[in-house]
Chains A and B, each alone.
Chain A
Amino acid sequence: DVKVTQSSRYLVKRTGEKVFLECVQDMDHENMFWYRQDPGLGLRLIYFSYDVKMKEKGDIPEGYSVSREKKERFSLILESASTNQTSMYLCASTETHSLSERNEQFFGPGTRLTVL
């Protein structure tokens, strides 16, 4: 079974702190994603990466950065946390397919971040 793990299930930080969210997958997937999920807004893509040291902005990258030094690990960084970044953060991974016939994303358990 594909396993995607995230470093913390719950996290409480203060405004202005630097926050690191870690995600690790064990299936040698090329692509990894960071989403945030908020009531009424659904899942929104923050950043994604299709290879080591490669990254692409998603729909809401402002206030975030990412790092992918190893294929299995994708980190989300909040340089200076703000209260509007309180949310559920979900990491996902998927293989690359030459045809977009199947693109199942496997999700981690999520990190509920609260910024005070």
Chain B
Amino acid sequence: QKEVEQNSGPLSVPEGAIASLNCTYSDRGSQSFFWYRQYSGKSPELIMFIYSNGDKEDGRFTAQLNKASQYVSLLIRDSQPSDSATYLCAVVGSNFGNEKLTFGTGTRLTIIP
């Protein structure tokens, strides 16, 4: 079992709809969870982080964390063509300090105009 799993997609969503991206992780002791966006040919950029159970909202983005079920999700409301990118889930595990991130393989999202 991979440490961090994501559906690779591609996930196609109509413009204006809600895009839902999911991520599961295997280390029950994981503390912090991150969503990065990566445009083609570019490096990842952080869009959300969450460390408490529940929802965290930032503009059109909502991160949801359920530690008991070991999943974290990202919702993008009112999807725009500029949201088309690969979304990487990353987790800070419990095995070394607080610095090491483990990444999922990413979900490719396409917003259809």
Instruction: Report the interface size class on chain A.
Output: 20 to 34
Q: Are B44 and A107 in contact (CB under 8 A)?
A: yes
Nearest CB of B to A104, in Å = 5
On chain A, the residues within 8 Å of B88 by CB distance are: 42-43
Query: What separation, in Å, do the CA atoms of A32 and B78 have in the docked complex?
Result: 36
Take A104-B49, A107-B43, A110-B43 as given contacts and tell me if A31 and B32 are in contact as well, using a CB distance cutoff of 8 Å.
Answer: no
Task: Answer yes or no: A45 CB below 8 A from chain B CBs.
Answer: yes
Q: Are B8 and A40 in contact (CB under 8 A)?
A: yes
Task: Answer yes or no: B99 CB below 8 A from chain A CBs.
Answer: yes
Which of B32, B34, B42 has most chain A Cβ within 10 Å? B32
Q: Are B92 and A103 in contact (CB under 8 A)?
A: yes
On chain B, the residues within 8 Å of A90 by CB distance are: 43-44
Majority SS at the chain A contact face: loop
Q: Which residue from chain B places its CB closest to the CB of A96 in the assembled complex?
A: B99
Within 8 A of A (CB), among B93-113: 96-106
Nearest CB of A to B29, in Å = 10
Which of A56, A94, A98, A107 has most chain B Cβ within 10 Å? A107
Q: Are A96 and B98 in contact (CB under 8 A)?
A: yes
Q: Which residue from chain B places its CB closest to the CB of A6 in the assembled complex?
A: B43
Instruction: Point out residues on B near A: beta carbons under 8 Å.
Output: 8, 31-32, 34, 42-46, 49, 51, 88, 90, 92, 96-106
Q: List 9 A-B contacts (CB under 8 A).
A: A35-B103, A43-B44, A48-B99, A96-B97, A96-B99, A100-B32, A102-B51, A105-B90, A108-B43
